[in-house]
Amino acid sequence: MDGAEGPLLCFPNLNSSCRKLLLRPRSETAVLYTLLAFISLLTVTLNLLVIISISHFRQLHTPTNTLLLSLAVSDLVVGLLVMPIEGLRYIVTCWLLGRLMCALTPFVSYCLVSVSVGNMVLISIDRYLAICDPLLYSSKITLSRVKISICVCWACSIIYNGCILMGHLGQPDRFSSCHGECVAVISHISGTVDLFMTFVGPCTVMVVLYMRVFVVAVSQVRVIRLQTAATTVGAAPVAKKSERKAARTLGIVIAVFLMSFCPFYYPAFTGADTSNSSSYFAVLSWIVLTNSCVNPLIYALFYPWFRKAIKLIVTLRILQTHSRELKIL
């Protein structure tokens, strides 16, 4: 039989130490550590491939792909830092990383959530303009403007979450009853504000824009069919087929994103405080975290350029001279 691992206390040498909430058999702990390592490594690897692909190949240096790059960076940080730390917390059932990390971990997690939401909104705007205003898209959406928008998105996320978690950052152990706990609590008022600022408002914008994109894309398909049947001089400009396909793919990304993030705001919907010590918080947070692994999988399924880029990276052809100029679209 497997024996229960470890002592009953998180810190056996401290009288004020918390007790371990759950003693797991060694075999179960080994399986959980293996699963955690696999998910974290997969998330980091897939998003790193996205980052290398978009950064390396000059043909992929487009405004839309720059937004995907920003999203991949936030997902990479989730797999590299947030997943291992949160996984360790729930496997060991103790907080072993100290007061500073207790202050920073919720802050980083919430910042990445806000950045992801911001990137999704920017992607929705980009696709809306590409489909609904294709003639002026290239003049309105430039690489420099997109990069500025991304920087503003990251800066606003850091400032906003610093305000939401100001109390926790200043005194991370104020809700902890013993050593070995890291409890972050967001009040109902702050949680309601956060609900509207980072979920209801952005989601409304995304849904409205994509409904408009869908309607315009359908009408453009009809225009193309009419033009094919009888060539018309001076016909209204329509978006390229590749633009509509990109809109569809990114629409899937946003739909999956919304399904992943809806449960996370359950406490705010019910009027309760949001606390990472709640029994259901682990499930809600991991639904959000796994979204960081799902995004690049969607790219692999729907973007041929991503699959081609992966082959070039894995076979090390990107190390060859002039590989940046290869055509993969």
The answer to whether 120 and 206 have CB atoms below 8 angstroms apart is: yes
Question: pLDDT tens digits, residue range 270-307?
Answer: 666 676 766 677 787 888 888 888 888 887 777 888 88
Domain ranges of the chain: 26-325
- Name residues whose C-beta falls within 8 Å of residue 183's C-beta, 6 or more positions apart in sequence: 175, 176, 275, 276, 277
What local confidence, expressed as pLDDT, does residue 215 receive?
A: 78
Question: pLDDT tens digits, residue range 51-80?
Answer: 999 999 999 999 989 999 999 999 999 999
Nearest to 189 by CA among 262, 266, 117, 271: 271
Q: How far apart are CA 120 and CA 124, in angstroms?
A: 6
3-state secondary structure of 244: helix
What local confidence, expressed as pLDDT, does residue 190 receive?
A: 81
What local confidence, expressed as pLDDT, does residue 145 receive?
A: 93
DSSP for 105-132, please give it.
Answer: HHHHHHHHHHHHHHHHHHHHHHHHHHHH
**Positions in the chain whose pLDDT score sits under 50:** 1-6, 232-235
According to CATH, the topology of domain 26-325 is Rhopdopsin 7-helix transmembrane proteins (1.20.1070)
